[in-house]
Structure 1
Amino acid sequence: ETQGVCVAAFGESREFPAFFSRQSGFQAPYHVRDEEEAAKLIASALGLGLSSGVLIAVPCPEERAASGQVIEEAIQEALNEARSKGITGKELTPFMLQKVNELTDGRSLDSNLALIQNNARVGSCIAVALSKLQKARRKGNLPQREVTTPPQPVVIGGINVDFIAKAQNPVILGGGQTNIGRVRRTFGGVGRNLADCLSRLGWTPLFLSAVGKDEHSDSILHYCHHMDMSAVLQLEGKSTATYCAVITSTGELSVGLGDMDIHHQITEQYVSQFKENLCQSPLVCIDGNVPLSTIQYVCQLAKEHQLSVCYEPTDENKASKPFLSDSWKALTYISPNLQELRAINRTLGNPLPAGIEGSV
């Protein structure tokens, strides 16, 4: 999820297969039933220009799959023996494979060989299906959809220029010392990210946001050329929102600094100019960077016109904005993480479920 890798289970079940058996107890985010569905999924990912891959989880053939409980017991026994013998690092994996094979009288090895052979068969079938699909698209042999112009989704939220400074060492040196590392610039903002994703999916939403007329705005507009940026405010004398994160070599955030004042310019008065677009929109997305009065205006409009609204809380300190009044009742979807959900729960005066208080 962190790296945006699509994970899909292959076959009749959506359950993600375990290493030696067909069951793991966990559901995969997506499910493809056969080679054709897998090929369509991969083609869609390629068409979106994503830099991440697609993971197709193919279970071991049912007739060769070992009992999950037997294998799990063998793994636990092998782990205990490895600990008692002090086996760690690169020696652990070959020890585990050999020990589990011994404890299961070779059944784990049979399952593994069957899995490798089945992976090769399924992988080649998916490759053939993908090749046929790509050839058909190049030749224009796919059924043509009727050309219509559906109403645009509307996204209301922030645009950020993010500077990520990653130190070479796991510990950041203090006292004014220069830390060796790498600095890169990316374009973000929750609203911008949502609008970008919808645009790549072919929905090209109307994006309502604000940037300054400064050295960053031209770069943003150039980077977002595939998006509808026609309604974005460009304000003289204001600074485009920027965020700088300093992280250690292990990815731990050391310090974060943000200049987000321009988000206050995404006002109710500005957004109300696009009331007709909002009322016709199949989906309105709004993020927590937007001022409270603007969120309340959108929620009231959604209530009056039965609009679908998706709220992205953004962070723990902004998550509760719609929940300070009855505005939240107009929301259709919300996507909080655990910290944001805690904040919302506190605002609503609800007790936290047992076991949640101390978890991260």
Structure 2
Amino acid sequence: MIEDMLRTPAAVQDSERHTAHNYHPLPVVITSAEGAWVTDVDGNRYLDCLAGYSALNFGHRHPTLVAAAHAQLDKLTLTSRAFIHDQFADFCRELAALCGKDLVLPMNTGAEAVETGIKVARKWGYQVKGVPAGQANIVVAEGNFHGRTTTIVSFSTDADARADFGPYTPGFRVVPYGDLAALGEAVDEHTVGVLLEPIQGEQGVVVPPEGYLPGVRRLCTERDVLFIADEIQSGLGRTGSTFACEQEGVVPDMYLLGKALGGGIVPVSAVAADADVLGVLKPGQHGSTFGGNPLACAVATEVVRLLATGEFQRRSAALGERLHAGLRGLIGKGLVAVRGRGLWAGLDIDPALMSGREACERLMARGVLAKDTHGSTIRLAPPLVITEEEIDHAVAQLAAVLAG
């Protein structure tokens, strides 16, 4: 039965015939979805435990978000930033309040948010900190994933993401993730920012040692350096709080946001910071045709309002405890380690048992969708609308896969 379901269907072959092979998707072709479930072209249903790498925190087709999109589609979708539209102010004001910051700069994709953060940090360094022209550096961590633009892969340590895309952009220093001493040694008088994921997603949901993020915050304050938190995957309820940094009592100078901000409907990203940071930008120095468009703002404003109630953060925290308890029960039964917070988990499978890819294929055959990363590791990031029963079902299917 499993072998039959893993045969490459014609629809998969059709989808790949005229597509550059920059992804290696599981052989499933989804045609509809609702909540935590998706349905393929053959009518098979699957529990989505990836949620678009956190882009679907509120599940597929959340009724409030779909209603906002429909209403806006009937009125206005795009003006460009040459003009002001009636959805813009609400979005920026309410997102700034959620972040506890003065200003918001809307963009589209997570990589654009990261690029924006890099540009802002450099300009701040030259105009505010007084770094000599062309000398600014930013410190990043090994195992990082911030996107795949030319600048971002320049400081990636993932060979697949980086190799053969040079020449690379200078101005970055890479240190081990979680090593505060190494970070301190890398920061000098020309450092303008420390760019980190509070929890490294692509690396396998790696949580830093206790005290690391507060230590980064202290170091940045002492050395007059911007702490830039990439919360594109970890933020907006995923870890049981609005931002992963909150769980360590840390407030960065700059939030980089994306994925869930678009509600699983449209790509929306943003940078949030105080006026003494984002205020360095002047007209013409940075922008995007679609950044902050009316449709994006209408949906993202509703996302912010859903988060403002705290309901989804509480769900993630409570259901995350159930998820992690179930997963820890599989350690020694095919799993060698479990990491993460809230409804986000990285699982290391015994490599002698199977690869992460094989585990995900076998989970798919049992009606659960997940994604492998780095050999024998898989990630679980179900929508925050998942139920206790659905979590138990996912864990039971994983147990069955590990048991062979």
Using the size of structure 2 for normalisation, the TM-score is: 0.25
The structure having more radius of gyration, on CA atoms, is 1
Q: RCO (CA 8 Å, sep 6+): is it higher in 1 or 2?
A: 2
Task: Give the alignment's TM-score, normalised by structure 1.
Answer: 0.28
